[in-house]
Amino acid sequence: MIELRVLTADDWTVWRELRIAALTDAPEAFGSRLADWQGEGDREERWRGRLSIPGSHHLAAVLDGKPVGMISGVPGPDNGVVELISMWVSKDARGQGVGDHLLGAVEQWARRMRTGTLQLAVRPGNENAIALYRRNGFHDTGPVGEVLPDGRREHIMVKRLAVR
């Protein structure tokens, strides 16, 4: 059974464990590098700060008592937009619905916050992530995100939410 836990700054060690695992497992999928969060970057106040972004929502997925995934919803670039960041599921938990549960939970939170749009950036070639997002109602707006080191651009995907 998949359990979702809302994380606060006091859960920084759980977030740290997941973030380090994510950056180790899939360094090409994130804008941050593992080296950015190690050494001088590996400080409790920095991890707590990451979980204390005003207006944000952070979740960890737990499967059989072990944290296996994470996601954050943070205020987006425009009013009424929530940006999904730091989405990751461990290799051992993939294919078990963890990603769907994480996305669904952030969507429910965003609806409660009366958000009109969910938005995310995904790297070209990350077909499993793109399929997950499409399955959950996101559509690709094209390669309009940041320019990557290889010259390609991130794809921005969005999902419109009915605001009641």
Distance from CA of residue 42 to its chain's centroid?
Answer: 20
Matching residue, tokens 């769907």: 100
Phi, psi values for residue 121, rounded to 5°: -115, 135
pLDDT value at 163 more than 70: no
Q: What is the pLDDT of residues 14-67, one digit of tens each?
A: 999 999 999 999 888 887 788 888 888 899 999 999 999 999 999 999 999 999
Q: What is the pLDDT of residues 58-89, one digit of tens each?
A: 999 999 999 999 999 999 888 899 999 999 99
**From the CB of residue 94, how many other CB atoms can be counted at a distance below 10 Å?**
14
- The whole-angstrom separation of Cα 101 and Cα 150 is 32
The 8-class DSSP code of residue 24 comes to: H
Q: Taking the CA of residue 111 as centre, how many other CA atoms within 13 Å lie in the half-sphere pointing to its CB?
A: 11
pLDDT value at 105 more than 80: yes
**From the CB of residue 121, how many other CB atoms can be counted at a distance below 10 Å?**
16
pLDDT at 146: 67
Q: Across the chain, which distance is largest between two alpha carbons, in Å?
A: 46
Helix (H, G, I), strand (E, B) or coil at 145: coil
pLDDT at 27: 83
**CA-based end-to-end distance of the chain:** 31
Return the structure tokens found at 3.
């359990």
Helix (H, G, I), strand (E, B) or coil at 20: helix
Q: What is the pLDDT of residues 110-139, one digit of tens each?
A: 999 999 999 999 988 889 999 999 999 999
The DSSP annotation for 32-100 comes to S-GGGGSGGG--HHHHHHHTT-TT-EEEEEEETTEEEEEEEEEE-SSTTEEEEEEEEE-GGGTTTTHHH
Q: Where residue 9 sits, what CATH number does that domain have?
A: 3.40.630.30
Domains held by the chain: number: 1
Across the chain, mean pLDDT equals 91
Supply the range of the domain harboring residue 101.
2-160
Nearest of 4, 99, 6, 15 to residue 50 by alpha carbon: 15
Q: What is the pTM of this model?
A: 0.91
Return the structure tokens found at 136.
């959950």
Phi, psi values for residue 18, rounded to 5°: -70, -45
